[in-house]
Chain A
């Protein structure tokens, strides 16, 4: 079965850039999206179709996808960005989520 691997944790200082990777076989040939989940809340999409931002999502969130890796970048990270982040892709009509990354803003 298809697997998406993320680093368990990423730490970033306020105002700095956080990069979260999502690795999967030929992931660049698929669409990736990213969800943010804060404690006790349901996931919310922050990036879809590799690099598009839904309305209401701040410009500091951006995405890319190439080769075997999709990347979510948070520029000028704020304390409110502290959350778990999950990538998502489809493989043969089966949805797959990444293992998840906890972003800590120190």
Chain B
């Protein structure tokens, strides 16, 4: 069974940093691109970042570019999101999601499955 388990969320003050992790199991991790998607409380979905199977293709939403860094460790079957200079508007449930392809941006990528998410709250 494919499983994605996020961790690392919590309460953090504005301007501080946090690192999220996503542990993957049940599939060949280094065959697939991976993504982070967030959902603010009571709001819609927002793609945050994506990374191809070999880390050769990385992208970010404009809202996080320059502050967040996505990475992966294929030997550990893990995906990460380093979040710096956090703002109140970054408060959200952060989901890890598996792409159906090894790379993304072709136009027909979609995400399956998604993890259960880890909650990040940015507040003083």
Contact = CB atoms under 8 A, between A and B. Distances in A.
A48 interface: yes
A43 B47 contact: no
Given A54-B112, A90-B109, A95-B50, A42 B44 contact: no
Given A35-B45, A86-B45, A42 B108 contact: no
Given A30-B107, A45-B112, A54-B112, A94 B45 contact: no
Contacts of B57: 93
Nearest to B108: A31
A70 interface: no
Contacts of B111: 35, 43, 45, 88
A43 B114 contact: yes
Interface string A73-90: 000000000001010111
Contact of A95 (B35, B114, B116): B35
A93 B108 contact: no
A25 interface: no
Contact of A100 (B45, B110, B112): B45
Contacts of B109: 90, 95
Contacts of B45: 35, 37, 43, 86, 97, 100
A99 interface: yes
A22 interface: no
B45 to A, nearest CB: 4
Interface of A: 1, 30-31, 33, 35, 37, 42-45, 48-49, 54, 84, 86, 88-90, 93-100
9 contacts: A31-B107, A42-B116, A44-B114, A45-B110, A90-B106, A93-B57, A93-B104, A94-B61, A97-B44
Given A44-B112, A93-B57, 8 more contacts: A35-B111, A44-B113, A44-B114, A45-B112, A49-B108, A90-B108, A93-B104, A95-B50
